[in-house]
Amino acid sequence: MSRAKNDQNSENIKQVLKLVGERIRFLREAKGERNYEKFAFKHDLNRTQLWRYENGEDLNFSSLLKVLSALDISLAEFFSEGFDQ
């Protein structure tokens, strides 16, 4: 793979991770949970990791599933909005 192609793939991944983080934050706040730390504590999530995820940092698939469980939303519902690009 060329360097330019690899750089483009890396940029695409960063954009998707940013969308994932924005979606997590939106859903948390839509549930009335304005404070990510309180939400993390309430659902036995690592608050630092949740902050990182909401800010577009990479995450494990199992971590995403745990956050979605705390948000009471399925994978299909999570990806049903904002990921159609």
Reported as a single tens digit per residue, the pLDDT across 28-65 is: 999 999 999 999 999 999 999 999 999 999 999 999 99
Mean pLDDT of the chain: 94
What's the CATH architecture for 3-74? Orthogonal Bundle (1.10)
Contact 58, 83 (CB under 8 A): no
Q: What integer pLDDT is reported at residue 6 of this predicted model?
A: 81
Residue 50 CB neighbours (<10 A): 25
Q: CB burial class (10 A; 0-12, 13-18, 19+) of residue 52? A: middle
Three-state SS at 44:
coil
Instruction: Please say if the pLDDT value at position 8 is more than 90.
Output: no
Tokens of 1: 């793979």
Spans of all domains in the chain: 3-74
Q: What is the mean pLDDT of residues 17-27?
A: 97
- pLDDT at site 85: 60
